[in-house]
Structure 1
């Protein structure tokens, strides 16, 4: 999504955050009137049952939470109150509220989307930490939104006038009003699911009733004209609202936003992505995933599976991201699109959401492998550790650098989706079924499996170290199976239980099953050897990225010619046209033995730092901040036939 305004801004060096939520099998037990009817292999733990332990992930989450807490609720409600005319009796009136800038400016047609994202993020952070401050912030926003909805009088709720919806129906110029409402619906639903806010559900239902009354009388011609505009995952929200209430009107609304031109080719298993807008596309498939879960529609399942594999196998860069200048491109010329505008973060956010649905259905380790790669290389590295600000794109142009948001005057879509991502790292580490518990990610954390009276505590320095240690805590012995992901990137794994080496018959790209009666204090140690390997572009075997296990490595290229000092990395919000001013002659070649790439790198100490034979310093891409870098090298070497 590209904003139509450019606003000068200064980065104030505070913390940032990160991304609208979905419902996965097994979550939020007891809140659904319509449960999942499709067969699933695994269920997701509720986020409140997982706690992060000290790690880079928790550091990101802490920076995220700091910025989230600092944002004044009145600022987030200002544009909603302006639209509804709700100012009477307020001390100082609306003029005393410092208005948000960037995409939240009163002249930006997407205003209000950040409030929706933050409703989700406050709910997620409350579930992930248990801290009451996040519930209080969410409650305050919901109360303010309910007040403005009541003032408008017909169930409509937005930071912009209903006329933007009318323009959409007429086919006249307007940006993406339903996209923005999707964020609001999702945020309200998440407030109910994660923070038990019943008022949030009532507000969402009134919005849904308004939408039904608005759209039910419209002709098919109007419908098709309307959905040509980006509408995000509004149909996913209506499926979720239907699941929560059982109200068939909301199911009708979900189907109303079925986009024939996009989804029909997928039904025929056609890769007809062309140069379509990537992040407009993915949420529509997420809605199909929810349709399958709620109705067992096999067509929705097949097209979802086909789309996911098409994306991963053909449209995804080494860090797990996709899109260039927000769009699909001709993958027959893949290496031509390694520019400064690759990897819109919202696309990765949505691909991770879609991946979780597929993993619950299939338990496929390939899905878990992708999730790990995208999480570490893109999402984890989206946030600047110094300022907490986040990136719109992950540029793969050699010599480019990350361009960060600003605290006051950005609020791009990737800042909004950003507010959620760093709050919900715990959601995909563990899964369960009637056979046992799955350990998918090697992130320091603790999961409480309440039904079994069992807790797993995972401690690791991965990826700096190859070993993860899991300690079992249980009041009574528990007979179950612990499934350890055996990643496709791993060498021969070693597993010990209470110091005793276990026989590992599985191979990489599967799960190691440890079935036994577990006692309090039992200890699992799993070691996954990591190797350096090359991933070349499909059209050019001499253009490739280096990886160490699942971690994409990047070469340091300094700060020569950078436009601004990196205490203020992005003077303008020109993320879409940013001129990286790459110095002439910047070195992009790498001398390497194609059959034995590990010979080209030497690791320095225990940290994730390497040097090459030609003197390059190589680090994980997620650690590459405030300087230029190279990810895709021009490879030169022997034994490459």
Structure 2
């Protein structure tokens, strides 16, 4: 691919990187049904570009079902209740029913859900085209504009008084005011980018202006003191705003949130993550990645790449999640942290955001492999299959169960990110170059690349089955295109591909892309099969402690529902059930005696993706995909004897 001028025209506030290739200083780019005026910011070389969410539609699958449950939940939350604390803070009368949990009127983090809801509704609108999501979100934006105007505090807007920010600057205890401001600004920018709401952009610009004038006079020491309080992705959102506005104050605001204490060691390729709060740091790295894209500062690139690789290699569980009690721990100590308080869901939400940046820069299959791993084994399992409620932590303690939120009395950070997680499944299925399409995920979907006149439909029951079928619905004539099919690292049993029924010779190895280049015609059919097999995923510090996977899926031992009494597994407090007693009949040790995995774990006839142990414990144990675990106890890591 020839080097071209690349402008990051679309903010990836957690959702997509659409890196537009241009060859002139200024241009207009249509995204969906609206126009963004941009000015040239930087030049970097990208290997892959994301499709807009509007270009991809999910077909029926667990992913689409999760998305529909998510949509139903968001639509059911009263706008008046969401706005209640915002209006009170602005001095506007409100007698709406307050929300509970982290959105209650006495909670210092109140207001963060508003940003997630705006992002979630904007994403849902882009993912479906259904106007109801835009209408609900537009109403919220209009009300927020009124609050900002009535406050009349130089652009300040929040559900809490600005004294909270003053406390952070002084180093006094306060619960993360900049974190909440970031979430709201991100939601407003998403409303502009995905729905064309210009009022949302105006509100965000005023908020950024207030923040810049607030922080620009501070000394480096004052900034360092303030940055000890969690500030979320303020650098990312400010860079994103700069990409739209060209206002150098937005760029400067992003730089003011460069946290030297965390980022400088990473720039020197030093892993000093042990003991730091995990999800406080990941958004800072996303900000560095965004900064690299807009400034071409290689130090920021080093930070992003080193952090990602370090976390994946030394701090990540088999699920793709990380952290214990929300903190990074000593590297390569996985087996010592199989506890009740592992893998905060927000962490993986943010790791996937970072992964999308890195894949766009490199088109390296390792990023797509991780994305699949975390998506299937942490994000997909985070939603309860009937109510749509979601997890905060996903326990690895043998015999515990998932704790799910309540409908309107929790609103943890991971509730907020869940509104986005399940609305944007379509964002990373496909990427493209000038003349090719990457097929990264095997999810039933339809891609319409209008610019090239190329439309394909992916039909599959993956991962229940190993085959995915791609049908070309439209294709430009006489122009060769490449389909780059991800050959997963776990597919060690080989691959099979046919085009219109004729076998294709495959020379590539697992952990690469299989290129299919030809002049495609309407009606062409590609069948791809990656036979799945069982494998162990040992802890990085102890091979005798291991999880079990089948293809891309982590398998969980189903330990039943004994002792789970209502309201469990639903809770107001995310830690409510972590000290629940574990029944004595829960089994987490297997006496395998060096036998091969396939000798003691075999598929159950007639039940897809279901396996049973043989002669390794006091009784047979049934294992199913972790994403199918709902309200029962489970075991993910086993002690192997």
- Residue 471 of structure 2 corresponds to residue 465 of structure 1: no
Aligned to 2:178: 178
Give 1:68's match in structure 2, choosing from 68, 71, 74.
74
Per-residue CA deviations over 1:554-578 (Å, capped at 9, x if unaligned) read 001112222x236x52344142773
Aligned to 1:363: 363
- TM-score normalised to structure 1 length: 0.93
The root-mean-square deviation of aligned C-alpha atoms, in Å, is 1.6
Q: Provide the C-alpha distance between the structure 2 equivalents of 1:476 and 1:219, rounded to a whole number of angstroms.
A: 58
Check the 8 A contact 2:14/2:350 in 1, yes or no. no
Aligned to 1:84: 90
Check the 8 A contact 1:25/1:36 in 2, yes or no. no
Per-residue CA deviations over 1:192-235 (Å, capped at 9, x if unaligned) read 01111111000000111111111122222211111110000011
Deviation for aligned residue 1:332: 4.2
Check the 8 A contact 1:139/1:197 in 2, yes or no. yes
- Residue 626 of structure 2 corresponds to residue 621 of structure 1: yes
Per-residue CA deviations over 1:443-495 (Å, capped at 9, x if unaligned) read 00011111110111000111110100000011642420011000010121000
Q: CA separation of 1:453/1:332 partners in 2, compared to 1, >3 Å: closer, same or farther? A: closer
- Residue 17 of structure 2 corresponds to residue 21 of structure 1: no
What secondary structure, in the 3-state scheme, does the structure 2 residue paired with 1:403 have? coil
- Mapping for residues 297-312 of structure 1, pairs under 5 Å: 297-312=297-312
- Residue 488 of structure 2 corresponds to residue 487 of structure 1: yes
Deviation for aligned residue 1:341: 0.6
Deviation for aligned residue 1:584: 3.1
Per-residue CA deviations over 1:397-435 (Å, capped at 9, x if unaligned) read 000100000001100000001110000000000000023
Aligned to 1:228: 228
Q: Provide the C-alpha distance between the structure 2 equivalents of 1:351 and 1:194, rounded to a whole number of angstroms.
A: 22
- Residue 47 of structure 2 corresponds to residue 47 of structure 1: no
What secondary structure, in the 3-state scheme, does the structure 1 residue paired with 2:333 have? helix
Deviation for aligned residue 1:73: 1.0
Deviation for aligned residue 1:589: 1.7
Aligned to 2:433: 433
Q: CA separation of 1:233/1:577 partners in 2, compared to 1, >3 Å: closer, same or farther? A: farther
- Mapping for residues 167-246 of structure 1, pairs under 5 Å: 167-246=167-246
Aligned to 1:3: none
Q: CA separation of 1:328/1:35 partners in 2, compared to 1, >3 Å: closer, same or farther? A: same
- Mapping for residues 289-438 of structure 1, pairs under 5 Å: 289-438=289-438
Aligned to 2:26: none
- Mapping for residues 276-291 of structure 1, pairs under 5 Å: 276-291=276-291
Q: CA separation of 1:370/1:576 partners in 2, compared to 1, >3 Å: closer, same or farther? A: farther
Q: Provide the C-alpha distance between the structure 1 equivalents of 2:572 and 2:411, rounded to a whole number of angstroms.
A: 13
Aligned to 2:262: 262
Q: Provide the C-alpha distance between the structure 2 equivalents of 1:54 and 1:559, rounded to a whole number of angstroms.
A: 29
What secondary structure, in the 3-state scheme, does the structure 2 residue paired with 1:386 have? coil
Q: Provide the C-alpha distance between the structure 2 equivalents of 1:162 and 1:215, rounded to a whole number of angstroms.
A: 13
Aligned to 1:145: 144
Per-residue CA deviations over 1:322-361 (Å, capped at 9, x if unaligned) read 0010001123432111101100000000000000000000
- Residue 115 of structure 2 corresponds to residue 122 of structure 1: no
Deviation for aligned residue 1:580: 2.4
Q: Provide the C-alpha distance between the structure 1 equivalents of 2:305 and 2:595, rounded to a whole number of angstroms.
A: 33
Check the 8 A contact 1:600/1:612 in 2, yes or no. yes
Q: Provide the C-alpha distance between the structure 2 equivalents of 1:381 and 1:271, rounded to a whole number of angstroms.
A: 30
Q: Provide the C-alpha distance between the structure 2 equivalents of 1:126 and 1:167, rounded to a whole number of angstroms.
A: 37
Which structure 2 residue ranges, 5 or more long, are not aligned?
1-11, 21-28
Check the 8 A contact 1:113/1:180 in 2, yes or no. yes
Check the 8 A contact 1:103/1:110 in 2, yes or no. yes
Q: Provide the C-alpha distance between the structure 1 equivalents of 2:510 and 2:454, rounded to a whole number of angstroms.
A: 28
Aligned to 1:630: 635
Q: Provide the C-alpha distance between the structure 1 equivalents of 2:595 and 2:302, rounded to a whole number of angstroms.
A: 38
Per-residue CA deviations over 1:273-329 (Å, capped at 9, x if unaligned) read 121000011110100100110111111111211111101111000010000100011
Per-residue CA deviations over 1:76-106 (Å, capped at 9, x if unaligned) read 111100000123xxxxxx22x1110000001
Q: Provide the C-alpha distance between the structure 1 equivalents of 2:585 and 2:97, rounded to a whole number of angstroms.
A: 46
What secondary structure, in the 3-state scheme, does the structure 2 residue paired with 1:451 have? coil
Q: CA separation of 1:230/1:205 partners in 2, compared to 1, >3 Å: closer, same or farther? A: same
Aligned to 1:8: none
Q: Provide the C-alpha distance between the structure 1 equivalents of 2:59 and 2:282, rounded to a whole number of angstroms.
A: 32
Q: Provide the C-alpha distance between the structure 1 equivalents of 2:184 and 2:198, rounded to a whole number of angstroms.
A: 15
Q: Provide the C-alpha distance between the structure 2 equivalents of 1:360 and 1:415, rounded to a whole number of angstroms.
A: 28
Q: Provide the C-alpha distance between the structure 1 equivalents of 2:475 and 2:173, rounded to a whole number of angstroms.
A: 63
Deviation for aligned residue 1:150: 0.3
Larger relative CO (CA 8 A, sep 6+): 1 or 2? 1
| Greater mean alpha carbon deviation, residues 533-542 or residues 407-416 | 533-542
Q: Provide the C-alpha distance between the structure 2 equivalents of 1:36 and 1:118, rounded to a whole number of angstroms.
A: 32
Q: Provide the C-alpha distance between the structure 1 equivalents of 2:208 and 2:16, rounded to a whole number of angstroms.
A: 18
Check the 8 A contact 1:80/1:148 in 2, yes or no. yes
Aligned to 1:58: 64
Per-residue CA deviations over 1:50-94 (Å, capped at 9, x if unaligned) read 00000000000000000111111111111100000123xxxxxx2
Aligned to 1:504: 506
Check the 8 A contact 1:464/1:606 in 2, yes or no. no
Give 1:542's match in structure 2, choosing from 517, 530, 544.
544
Q: Provide the C-alpha distance between the structure 2 equivalents of 1:480 and 1:333, rounded to a whole number of angstroms.
A: 46
Q: Provide the C-alpha distance between the structure 2 equivalents of 1:448 and 1:66, rounded to a whole number of angstroms.
A: 26
Q: Provide the C-alpha distance between the structure 1 equivalents of 2:69 and 2:362, rounded to a whole number of angstroms.
A: 34
- TM-score normalised to structure 2 length: 0.93
What secondary structure, in the 3-state scheme, does the structure 2 residue paired with 1:504 have? coil
Aligned to 1:579: 579
Q: Provide the C-alpha distance between the structure 2 equivalents of 1:46 and 1:187, rounded to a whole number of angstroms.
A: 17
What secondary structure, in the 3-state scheme, does the structure 2 residue paired with 1:38 have? coil
Which structure 1 residue ranges, 5 or more long, are not aligned?
1-18, 88-93, 637-641
Q: Provide the C-alpha distance between the structure 1 equivalents of 2:576 and 2:301, rounded to a whole number of angstroms.
A: 34
